[in-house]
Structure 1
Amino acid sequence: MSISTTCRDVNELLPVAQRACKLLFQECYKAGIRNIFITETYRSQERQNYLYAQGRTRPGQIVTWTLDSKHKSRLAWDIAVGPPQSLHDVVTLNKVGAIARKLNITWGGDWLGSIDRPHFEVTGNWRLPKGHQLEDMMTIPSSSQAKEEIKMTGWNPASPAMQTAAELFLAQAVKEGIIQASHLKDLQNKQLTTDRLLGLFITINQRRNH
């Protein structure tokens, strides 16, 4: 995998982190927070070095404050928020962070100095908290998973026909009352980013399945 490629596969985490991540998403769903998704899981040391260089010796904004991250140990994951909120909506991430605390999952939003609200991690000896049970069929959405689902349904972001297919998909979701018409208007005006479109795809499918 290239150092510029993001790994979003939960299965790349250690089993203990997989269980913690699944439990966090499960409890968030129960609390009505269903528009969150995974943006990164495992990172190699080479990718960590690459990200650390951003904003320092490489152009861009600083995205990490360390060369030594739990991502390298396969014990950490990052999330983002789907529409109608922004990708790093503070209100939503604070709610997820509060749930994480109850599950003994470390939340980057609690760190002093280098606050990292999208970040969650556990230690290698994390255990399922008393009173909680992990559902066997729990699945965790990611933007890469959304891309695969889009590809399977013929809704390929790289296809020239995407605009028409996406408009039909969002129009139906607007009709069902799942999303606001403003999202469809932004797509029609070519003001909808790919990440936001993927977030909408995840949100729509989740709400249709619940």
Structure 2
Amino acid sequence: MATLSRVGAIARKLGITWGGDWTGNTVEGNTTKPIAKDDDKMLFTNETTKAAVRDYIKQSVDKKKIDKSWLEKFDNGTMTSGDFEGLKIIISQRSA
């Protein structure tokens, strides 16, 4: 429990809140601290995944489901995770 107490102390300093201290085996929390603008840029741990996401966006542009500016945004590294989640919904709706 000493490790968890240290984690709790660190979490409090970072602005993470939760329903209270617990004694069980699960942790639930959320941050109330604002996220910096650059923190949401899409990051990839390998080139295969990045290429697959780019290909998905390019195919959607080629099929005229989304504007080519989205592919440019991806290529420029300015697409956020929220942008991509929204695009998936738009693409899905336009595919139906």
Partner of 1:27 in structure 2?
Answer: none
1:60 partner letter:
P
From the superposition, tell whether residues 188 and 158 of structure 1 become closer, same or farther in structure 2 (CA, over 3 Å). closer
Superposed displacement of residue 158, structure 1: 5.5
Alignment length (residue pairs):
62
Alignment partner of 1:191 is 2:82: no
Distance in 1 (CA, whole Å) between partners of 2:68 and 2:88 is 15
From the superposition, tell whether residues 166 and 3 of structure 1 become closer, same or farther in structure 2 (CA, over 3 Å). same
1:204 partner letter:
I
Q: TM-score, normalised by structure 1?
A: 0.26
Partner of 1:2 in structure 2?
Answer: 28
- What whole-Å deviation, never above 9, does each CA across 1:52-81 have from its counterpart, x for those lacking one? xx4xxxx439xxxxxxxxxxxxxxxxxxxx
Q: Which runs of 5+ in 1 are unaligned?
A: 5-49, 62-156
More helix as a share of residues: 2
Q: Percent identity?
A: 23
CA contact (8 A) 2:44 2:50 kept: no
Q: Which runs of 5+ in 2 are unaligned?
A: 1-26, 36-42
Superposed displacement of residue 171, structure 1: 0.7
Partner of 1:176 in structure 2?
Answer: 63
CA contact (8 A) 2:66 2:91 kept: yes
- Higher-Rg member (1/2): 2
